[in-house]
Amino acid sequence: MKKIISFLFLSLSVLSAAYAGTIKIVTTTTDLKSIAELIGGNKVSVTSIATGYQNPHFVDPKPSYIISLSNADIFVTVGLDLETGWSPQLLSSSRNSKIQKGSPGYVDASEGVGLLQVPSSLNRGEGDIHIYGNPHYWLDPLNGKVIARNIANGLERADPSNKSFYEANLQAFFSKLDVKLAEWTTKMAPFKGSKIIAYHNEWVYFERRFGLQIVDFMEPKPGIPPSPSQLVKVIKEVSANKIKVIISSPYFTTSSSDVVAKQTGVKELTLATSTGAFPSIKNYFDLFDYDVDQMVSVLK
């Protein structure tokens, strides 16, 4: 036992020595991690708290999260109350003054994003718990640029001497994204205006970017599990509009979509909502490669 522990400590200290001199970034989600790695290159070491297949609204805290936060130079959050259930508590437990809200090391990736579905009135009964707007904005690849800019700003505050390095990486990221976006848009172009059903209201940015049309959601209101009357409504809509697919995410059950699929023959598709949702999705670009290819294969 003692040997194992001392080995662990030894490997920890070796690791931390190897990382000495790098900027330590902790992100809440894997998409932010992927972009931070692309901008920071070999000057940063990045860890993400949530995994790519987890619902980012719910994360069960573990000691390691607080430890990595307490050693972090930069903290990057999706923001807009996506992580309110867990990240503020972890941040305050870390007692790291560098990364508290308002400090230079705190990066809110949503800053400057053109938000959709900002509620005009606050009525919880309507399911509008996202009081600042829909927080799933990273699912529009163009918003990846805003995220990258915010992360680069954070890096330049923490490490001004390498500013030109981060700016160069940022420009490279922008150019690659432009090329990829053109590729994705071309692939999706034949299916512009396709009507689809979504499980949860998290695809609005994706929908707008690729000209899809989400007719309805499996959830009667965001966060409320499908009810019998909603299933009946969706089944009618699927038949009336000849809808081909219901899209969902890895962390929702498919049981109610199965019912609709059995009744109507509509296809069910589990798309990736974040980097790492499936083993083949290793970075932010892979995420859209995967989702676009999947969409194209069912809409054909």
Partner 1 sequence: MFEMFHLEFMVQAFAAAVITGILLSYMGVHVVGRGIVFVDLALGQISSLGVAFAAFIGTGLTSIPLIFTLAGALLMSFINIRDKRLKQEAVIGILYAFTSALTVLFISKTAHGDSDIQEVLFGNILSISWPQITTAGIIFGSILLVQLVFFKKFFALTESFENGENHLIGIFNIWNFLFYISIGLAIVFAVKINGVIPVFSYLIIPAVSAIMITKNKTAVLIIAMLISVLGGFFGLNFSFKYDFPAGSSIVVILGGIFILAAIYKIIKGFTEKKDIEHG
Residues that bind partner 1 (CB under 8 A): 5, 8, 57-58, 60-64, 66-67, 70, 85, 89-90, 92-95, 124-129, 221-225, 227
Nearer to partner 1, 166 or 252 (CB): 252
Give the residue carrying structure tokens 């989702």. 291
Give the Cα separation of 151 and 109 in Å (integer). 7
Whole-number minimum distance, CB 4 to partner 1, in Å? 9
Those residues whose C-beta lies under 8 Å from the C-beta of residue 112, and which sit 6 or more positions away, are 146, 149, 150
We find the least distance from the C-beta atom of residue 219 to partner 1, in angstroms, to be: 9
Instruction: Quote the least distance from Cβ 54 to partner 1, whole Å.
Output: 13
Nearer CB in complex with partner 1: 60/161: 60
CB of 242 to partner 1, least distance (A): 30
Residues 173/148, Cβ–Cβ less than 8 Å = yes
**CB 294 → partner 1: shortest distance, Å?**
27
The answer to whether 261 touches 245, Cβ cutoff 8 Å, is: no
Residue 128 or 216 with smaller CB distance to partner 1: 128
Nearer to partner 1, 162 or 230 (CB): 230
29 or 169: CB nearest partner 1: 29
